[in-house]
Structure 1
Amino acid sequence: MSIKMRMLNWLHCPSMTMLVFAAILLGVMPVFPEPHLLQKVRMLFDGTLVKPVDIFDLFWHGWPILWIVLRLLTPGAETSCRIPNEHGH
């Protein structure tokens, strides 16, 4: 199995339900005064996203959305998670 196929299979391991739940949860937390993801995206468009902690925060609150996008864009998406063991089986 090629490295590309292993990576594509790995993208499909968590269920879509779990990824959507993580995207919603991390996307809106903390809710007050404003969801972090919304705040960081606004900072990115304003050009004020310069501190490393803010860049990390954008990644941390946005990774589930990125995972969902990558999963939806992978051609020939596998419906099950198949990661070969160390012997390639």
Structure 2
Amino acid sequence: SKGAVRIFSKAMAVRHGKDNIRVNSVHPGFMPPMTSGIAYDQDQRRQSLDQTPMGREGRIEEVANAVLFLASDEASYITGAELAVDGGFTAK
């Protein structure tokens, strides 16, 4: 579950911070299916989009870019963070 990931990543960030090991978690929001064999439930899709402030699905590339940032030197002082890549869904 996402709750377990959040707790685990924070605990690992605290435990390994002294070793300069960064641990963060990325939480994607509503994304299109990654394989063409998955059918959309259009009602569920519409409800998800209505509840997302940005009003659109996320792109897999946007999640990948968030991960790349957290792995980069630009994020060298970020650890124990939870990054929601969800178009503002969790902000509501």
TM-score (norm 2): 0.28
Higher-Rg structure is 1
Q: Which has the higher helix share?
A: 1
Q: Which has the higher strand share?
A: 2
TM-score (norm 1): 0.28
